[in-house]
């Protein structure tokens, strides 16, 4: 099993501890000495990393992913989210239950920076008169 964490500093302390060639107990000790969680939400990840070291499991750094929900927009494929094709960079809206999203041809998850960029684009949208 692979333990997934979001904290890059925690991952660096883990990598340093296991790369040093110590046994499991010394690796945990190195990890604890080099990283101390500063907020309650990290405690679960902290404990999971210690358990992974002791049980010889791997730890993977994962960045959280975000979706941009278009409030008030729903269609036959469900709630609408900002989407882009997996091989393109243009944005459009698509339902979360669209078969192309399920197959992975379309992406509805983004890094935090990209999601905030998309949100800014939506806020800056303009209304045009049709003539």
pLDDT digits (tens, 9 = 90+) for 59-92: 888 878 899 999 999 888 889 999 988 787 788 9
Mean pLDDT of the 36-63 span = 83
Q: Please give the C-alpha separations between residue 62 and each of 17, 25, 31, 32, 98, in angstroms, as whole numbers.
A: 19, 25, 18, 20, 26
Which pLDDT belongs to residue 124? 86
Q: H/E element holding 2?
A: strand 2-5
Q: Does the pLDDT value for residue 41 go beyond 60?
A: no
Which pLDDT belongs to residue 44? 83
Alpha helix stretches (DSSP H) within 62-111: 99-103
Q: Does the pLDDT value for residue 93 go beyond 70?
A: yes
Please give the Cα distance from 14 to 90 (Å, whole number): 38
């Amino acid at each position: 099993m692979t333990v997934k964490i979001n904290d890059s500093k925690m991952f660096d302390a883990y990598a340093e501890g296991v790369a040093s060639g110590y046994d499991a107990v010394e690796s945990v000790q190195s990890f604890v000495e080099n990283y101390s969680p500063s907020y309650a939400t990290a405690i679960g990840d902290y404990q999971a990393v210690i358990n992974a070291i002791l049980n010889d499991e791997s730890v993977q750094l994962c960045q959280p992913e975000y979706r941009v929900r278009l409030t008030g927009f729903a269609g036959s494929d469900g709630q609408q989210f900002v989407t882009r094709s997996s091989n393109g960079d243009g944005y459009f809206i698509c339902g979360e239950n669209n078969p192309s999203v399920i197959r992975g041809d379309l992406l509805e998850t983004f890094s935090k920076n990209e999601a905030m960029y998309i949100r800014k684009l939506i806020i800056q949208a303009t209304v045009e008169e049709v003539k």
